[in-house]
């Protein structure tokens, strides 16, 4: 299937891109931008924005839409929180998005380590806004409490696809009900924290499926939402069934706003942390 013109992206360039690229190598940090082959890497890095991916670059889960490497991860590196904080300070970032691979090999799924990374960034300057895009931690409230205790400004967890395509797209250990439960618990445990999720379109979902998902996310306490086009990372991954037009994304943005989301980014190239700073209410 040939990609439509609205999915074309610009190549990376500029001083901010160079500075960010240099810092990532200097401090030996990973980003989800490169790990997931995000189409916005050039745009975001050129603006000095990136989503740091902590706990390594190998995921213990095997979702069929994701380009991040799967397998047995390396042990956690105790120096990473400090290296992350130093990179953030050097780049003078005011908005930091943190995400991670799934670490089902760890007793707490890496929740405590994730919390350490949040605290390390916050220790530089409490005014830095931190967005934490977390795994499901199997719905464990103690693990979710560790994340909340680190005081990120936004906590995100993605349902990824509509309910009907969960088995098709996600690892068997994930699930729509589990993800909704995590989002609901997060809001109940910390009412003042913004809760966020993301949905990919283009796998053959109907309008009714999308609208039902929007309603269920909102009822679970989600306030910030991104909707974006699924793009196939390789021939080994799920194929794209449809390229959704920008006009259709604008339509779903209106529908999402109608059901009460505080902020919605809905464009073909939208990803979980794309233009994240603009979404902050």
| Mean of pLDDT over the chain | 89
Contacts 24+ apart (CB under 8 A), 28-31: 28/83, 29/80, 29/83, 29/84, 29/87, 30/54, 30/56, 30/57
What class has domain 5-273?
alpha beta
Give, as one character, the DSSP assignment of residue 9.
-
pLDDT at 35: 42
Q: Do 232 and 238 form a contact (C-beta atoms < 8 A)? A: yes
Distance between CA atoms of 73 and 121, rounded to whole angstroms?
24
Which sign, positive or negative, has the C-alpha torsion 205, 32, 44, 80?
positive
Name the band, by pLDDT with cuts 50, 70 and 90, for residue 261: very high
Distance between CA atoms of 99 and 202, rounded to whole angstroms?
24
Q: DSSP E strands: which ranges in 221-270?
A: 224-229, 263-266
Residue with tokens 């989600």: 222
- Please name which of 183, 261, 264 lies closest in space to residue 228, comparing C-alpha atoms: 264
92-148 pLDDT, tens digit per residue, is 888 889 999 999 999 999 999 999 999 999 999 888 999 999 999 999 999 999 999
Q: Domain ranges for the chain, please list them.
A: 5-273
Q: What 3-state DSSP class applies to 19?
A: helix
Name the band, by pLDDT with cuts 50, 70 and 90, for residue 273: low
Q: Do 161 and 205 form a contact (C-beta atoms < 8 A)? A: yes
Residue 201, H or E segment: strand 194-201
pLDDT at 172: 96
Q: What 3-state DSSP class applies to 70?
A: strand
Specify the pTM. Answer: 0.90
- Please report, to the nearest 10 degrees, the dihedral formed by the alpha carbons of residues 168, 262, 151, 33 taken in order: 50
């Amino acid at each position: 299937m040939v990609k439509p013109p609205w999915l074309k992206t610009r190549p990376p360039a500029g001083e901010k891109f160079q500075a960010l690229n240099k810092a990532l190598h200097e401090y030996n940090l990973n980003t989800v931008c490169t790990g997931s082959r995000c189409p916005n890497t050039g745009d975001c890095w050129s603006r000095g924005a990136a989503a740091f991916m902590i706990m390594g670059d190998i995921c213990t889960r095997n979702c069929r839409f994701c380009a991040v490497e799967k397998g047995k991860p390396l042990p956690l590196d105790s120096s990473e929180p400090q290296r992350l904080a130093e990179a953030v300070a050097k780049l003078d970032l005011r908005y930091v998005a943190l995400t991670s691979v799934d670490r089902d090999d760890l007793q707490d799924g890496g929740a405590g380590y994730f919390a350490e990374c949040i605290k390390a960034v916050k220790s530089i300057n409490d005014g830095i806004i931190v967005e934490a895009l977390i795994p499901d931690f199997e719905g464990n409230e103690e693990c979710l409490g560790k994340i909340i205790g680190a005081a990120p400004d936004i906590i995100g967890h993605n349902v990824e696809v509509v309910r009907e395509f969960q088995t098709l797209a996600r690892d068997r250990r994930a699930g729509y009900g589990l993800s909704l439960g995590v989002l609901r618990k997060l809001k109940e445990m910390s009412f003042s924290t913004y809760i966020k999720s993301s949905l990919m379109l283009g796998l053959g979902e109907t309008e009714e499926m999308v609208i039902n998902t929007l309603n269920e996310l909102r009822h679970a306490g989600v306030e910030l939402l991104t909707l974006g086009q699924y793009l196939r990372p390789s021939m080994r991954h799920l194929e794209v069934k449809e390229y959704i037009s920008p006009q259709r994304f604008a339509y779903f943005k209106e529908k999402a706003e109608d059901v009460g989301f505080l902020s919605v980014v809905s464009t073909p190239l939208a990803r979980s942390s794309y233009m994240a700073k603009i979404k902050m209410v």
